[in-house]
Structure 1
Amino acid sequence: MADAAAPSFSPGVRGRPARFMVYALLIGFAAFYLTPLVVVVLNSVRTAQDIGATSVIGFPREFAFDNFSRAWGSYCIAQTCAGISPYMWNSFLLVIPATILSTLLGALNGYSIALWRFKGDNWIFGIIILGVFLPEQMKLIPWTLVLRDIGLTNSISGLVMIHVIQGISFTTLFCRNYYVSIPPELLKAARIDGAGFFRIFWRIVLPLSPPILIVTVIWQFTHIWNEFLYGVTFTSGTQQPVTAALIALSVSVSEAPQYGVQSAAVLLAALPTLLVYLFGGKYFLRGLTAGAVK
């Protein structure tokens, strides 16, 4: 009878404290990680007088939405008072062709290595993947010599070439690991029907590739847009992408601090990658999951 009267606790009740701790830790880490973004967002709508009278951490006393228009079209960056708009267009002219070309070349490489086995294919794959692990700093001098010799110094075209070649390592890795799951019988049947290398690629492999191509496009777009080392090193003036221009923008802090306009410029520069994350993040995860499961 005593045992029957003893209180019982369900597993759900016992697990609530642990679940609460997990959520508390996750919320704490998220708040810590998002604090810089919150500070930048708040400063982007604060006046210079408000920030100067208090500090860069605080809520706006009055909203200054004109910071965004000034950051886009009139703020001075390196003696050019046109805002960040020219540099944003430079980044688009860089990112779009570099992303498309590196993705297509990576898909073609991955298809060749994964489905058209040949002697030494693993060695070639290893050499290509070596580019993933080489630090960018050790490539600066070789790229300087190459751009000088072919006449692409201080140009968006030079940066496009750099990022296409740099991106082939990543896109080849992604696509090769995805294509190895394609049944070889499918390619044998196509060869029997007379299809060649490129016809199989365009008619069979590419239609099966949207999940991994979405992954590579999102990866390349965000990586190239956010990269600034090559932009700062190989371009100057009006030829720079927006990330390099933001470095020049930060130099003016010591001359005449305009933290509100500068914060607005940072948000405008980050907007494309934020939109890619918001609208393409779930497809990125699906693509990675599809390749892993296969």
Structure 2
Amino acid sequence: MVDVSTSMLEGPRGPKPGKALSRKNIFLYGTLLIVTIYYAIPLYVMVVTSLKGMPEIRMGNIFSPPMEITFAPWVKAWSEACTGLTCEGLSSGFWNSVKITIPSVLISIVIASVNGYALANWRFKGADIFFTILIFGAFIPYQVMLYPIVIMLREIGLYGSLGGLVLVHSVFGMPILTLLFRNYFSSLPEELFKAARVDGAGFWGIYFRIMLPMSVPIFTVAVILQVTGIWNDFLFGVVYTGPDAYPMTVQLNNIVNTTQGVREYNVNMAATIITGLVPLSIYFVSGKLFVRGIAAGAVKG
């Protein structure tokens, strides 16, 4: 029997807590602070510049806050900025990006989730070969496939259209998404799958009634990855679409690099921020689920 009074006199056991201001912590937090400042300064400059008028910008102090806040550059970036002879701003490119992103994300995630589910729980003939081909496709440089895809889209009549770009994004997004879904479904308790099979549930019954309700984190990961990749894409947008179907990033490039008239830095900064608001908003809204999806097996082998 342990003497309670003696054990209380001995004090708490275990390793001593580290010092709050140890060299390790100072180095760690100092490094994080420097990195944060490094990434925050450009964003700060973009925001304050977009809220200034051109006379104030010409004064040269890019770090000073605006003396008089104006949202005219934001209005012009959205609806009045010129790209050549067209002065519609980013608005047309925004709606093109929406029309491209939504169907591309839905198609690629739906197909990839079914592929990952089948590869993880239903061992069909040739599954290993199929999975190897998908993984190989995920690491092929996009630039290698540009010209062959141009020929393919031209032959099927989709080159230069929004539908052709949706098809390209859907196909290129499926390999890595299939890998993520397959690894996530493999991390779920196998007993649930076996119990459902014993109860008579089939392929689609298990998928819709068991797998989907447990897969909200990995679907969030997939949505964030796809929306960010597709919305921020410039290469595919400028190669596979025409002027009437340019996504927002191509419109941004045309606005920033226009050579007509005075270069309006405040409009350029406002246009850049507007272009990045959609993926940033999605990440901030669903960031916790994104971390849960990664931690729950999204990148496990």
Please indicate, yes or no, whether the TM-score normalized by the shorter chain is above 0.5.
yes
Give the Cα separation in 1 of the matches to 2:20 and 2:279: 42
| 1:76-106 Cα distance to aligned partner (Å, 9 max, x none) | 1232211101111111111111111111111
Give the Cα separation in 2 of the matches to 1:69 and 1:27: 34
The equivalent of 1:7 in structure 2 is: none
Tell me: CA distance 1:195–1:263, structure 2 relative to 1, closer, same or farther (3 Å). same
Out of 154, 160, 185, the position equivalent to 1:179 is 185
The equivalent of 1:5 in structure 2 is: none
Matches within 5 A, 1:145-294: 145-252=151-258, 255-291=261-297
Letter of the 2:171 partner, please give it: I
The equivalent of 1:3 in structure 2 is: none
SS at match of 2:66: coil
Q: Is the 8 A contact 2:181 2:298 kept in 1?
A: no
CA RMSD of aligned residues (A): 2.1
Matches within 5 A, 1:107-126: 107-126=113-132
Unpaired segments ≥5 residues, structure 2: 1-15
SS at match of 1:180: helix
Out of 142, 146, 149, the position equivalent to 2:148 is 142
Give the Cα separation in 2 of the matches to 1:222 and 1:258: 27
Question: What is the number of residues matched between the two proteins?
Answer: 285
Q: Is the 8 A contact 1:227 1:243 kept in 2?
A: yes
The equivalent of 1:102 in structure 2 is: 108
Out of 41, 57, 76, the position equivalent to 2:82 is 76
Tell me: CA distance 1:14–1:90, structure 2 relative to 1, closer, same or farther (3 Å). closer
More helix per residue: 1
Comparing 97-106 and 195-204, the one that deviates more: 195-204
Give the Cα separation in 2 of the matches to 1:240 and 1:104: 26
Give the Cα separation in 1 of the matches to 2:62 and 2:54: 10
Out of 79, 90, 107, the position equivalent to 2:96 is 90
Q: Is the 8 A contact 1:78 1:237 kept in 2?
A: no
Q: TM-score, normalised by structure 1?
A: 0.90
Comparing 186-195 and 107-116, the one that deviates more: 186-195
Q: Is the 8 A contact 2:81 2:255 kept in 1?
A: no
Tell me: CA distance 1:293–1:34, structure 2 relative to 1, closer, same or farther (3 Å). closer
| 1:23-47 Cα distance to aligned partner (Å, 9 max, x none) | 1221111111222211111111111
Tell me: CA distance 1:71–1:292, structure 2 relative to 1, closer, same or farther (3 Å). closer
The equivalent of 1:4 in structure 2 is: none
